[in-house]
Amino acid sequence: MNELREKYNQISTYLPKERKVAIFGCGKLGEELYPVLIRYALFGGFIDNDKSKQDSGNLGEKVYSLEDFLAKENRSYIVITATKDNTKTIGKQLEINGLKAEQDYTDWEHFLKVILPLISYFRSEKIFVNLAQICVTERCTLRCEACAHACNKVSRDAQDMSFESVKKSADSFFKNVDIVKEFVLIGGEPFLYKDLDKAVEYIGENYREKIIMFSITTNGTITPDDTLIALIKKYDVTVRISDYSYTLPNLKKSYERLLEKLQGVKTVLLDTSKNQWFDYGFFEVDNGEDEERLKRIFKTCNTPCREIRENKYYYCVMARSVSENSGKDVGLDEYLDMDAVKDKKDVLVFELGLVENGYLSMCRYCRGAEAEKFLIPAAIQQKR
């Protein structure tokens, strides 16, 4: 814990309590960060190089050019919200203008995964989590060859999580977490889950205040009924639709039907137009047993995707689901027991990746960050 306190103290040297945070980039990532900063009373403006955005503003807020921003007194700390390549370009632009990485700016991932959890805990004793999910079902209407949760290995009549388990998962999670940027109901295909309406209602009724974005991620093959849609609207749930129409053109009609039905609901069509997924290689990679190597793989991977499953809080949803769904049965006992947490700081420690051993057993069978170099076509279906 001393290590984390030191880290926080170091952050406070360049981001003291009174300094605000500006978002560089008015795209999707910037818009998702905005309500988080508002919640923490940290928002210090938007910056964008696009003149049209400077003219129109964003989300009702002023958008500065970098030049105007730099001319301000009491400059905010900058968080770049852009793709990796654009982040590098913006970083160079900031350096040319005399700003320094870490001291004056960082990228959105580092801010959400490290800086904000530390600030949240040490300034207000609140646990902030970037992203957590409940896999309500592992069954799916598709059978993608490279499913990162290995749902292609789950039988179509497998048992889903009971509604009691979903409730228990939410209760255990929110007992220890004060604010989550995104809380996702996911699968498999979550619209197959018969109690999804009850799950949305229970979480919406009991924990909506703690969730900045409450979402459902679907492959868009099923159109939910009116009862569920009414609850989705009532609890302001965002429906993220993975667009696989490049590989599966027939799905276009399903998306149209779904979007038509979801009028009035916040929807995000997740663009897979590049038609590529990262291949984590869970069934072909073996990194061996060298602990230093496995620690390196875990650390550089830095996955954001936590999973809560009853009292079990898993650091990596892929590790748990691939291991369980494929019958590998590796590392299923590596979780934080949310019911046994006596001090919230244990959740912070876990959140920052300080897991026992310094890696997960499934990292042995995974490419981690290297997966981005192994691209495969998205949503290719298994031959029956």
Residues near ligand SF4, by CB under 6 A? 140, 142-144, 147, 149, 151-152, 187-189, 219, 280, 297-298, 301, 303, 316, 318-319, 360, 362-363, 366, 368, 379
* C-alpha torsion angle, residues 133, 137, 143, 147 (rounded to 10): 30
Query: Taking the complex as a whole, how short is the minimal distance between the CB of residue 190 and ligand SF4, in angstroms?
Result: 9
Under DSSP, the state recorded for 58 is B
Which residue, 44 or 220, is less far from ligand SF4 as judged by CB? Answer: 220
Query: Taking the complex as a whole, how short is the minimal distance between the CB of residue 165 and ligand SF4, in angstroms?
Result: 19
Task: Determine the Cα–Cα distance for residues 33 and 213; give it in Å rounded to an integer.
Answer: 10
Query: Taking the complex as a whole, how short is the minimal distance between the CB of residue 3 and ligand SF4, in angstroms?
Result: 21
CB of 297 closer than 8 Å to CB of 366: yes
- HSE of 252 in the Cβ direction (CA atoms, 13 Å)? 6
Which residue, 36 or 301, is less far from ligand SF4 as judged by CB? Answer: 301
Task: Determine the Cα–Cα distance for residues 219 and 139; give it in Å rounded to an integer.
Answer: 12
Which residue, 134 or 301, is less far from ligand SF4 as judged by CB? Answer: 301
Query: Taking the complex as a whole, how short is the minimal distance between the CB of residue 298 and ligand SF4, in angstroms?
Result: 5
3-state helix, strand, coil in the chain (%, to 5): 40, 20, 40
Query: Taking the complex as a whole, how short is the minimal distance between the CB of residue 187 and ligand SF4, in angstroms?
Result: 5
Which residue, 63 or 151, is less far from ligand SF4 as judged by CB? Answer: 151
Residue 240's DSSP bridge partners are: 217, 268
Which residue, 144 or 212, is less far from ligand SF4 as judged by CB? Answer: 144
- Beta-strand ranges (E) seen in 100-248 are 105-107, 128-135, 179-186, 211-218, 237-243
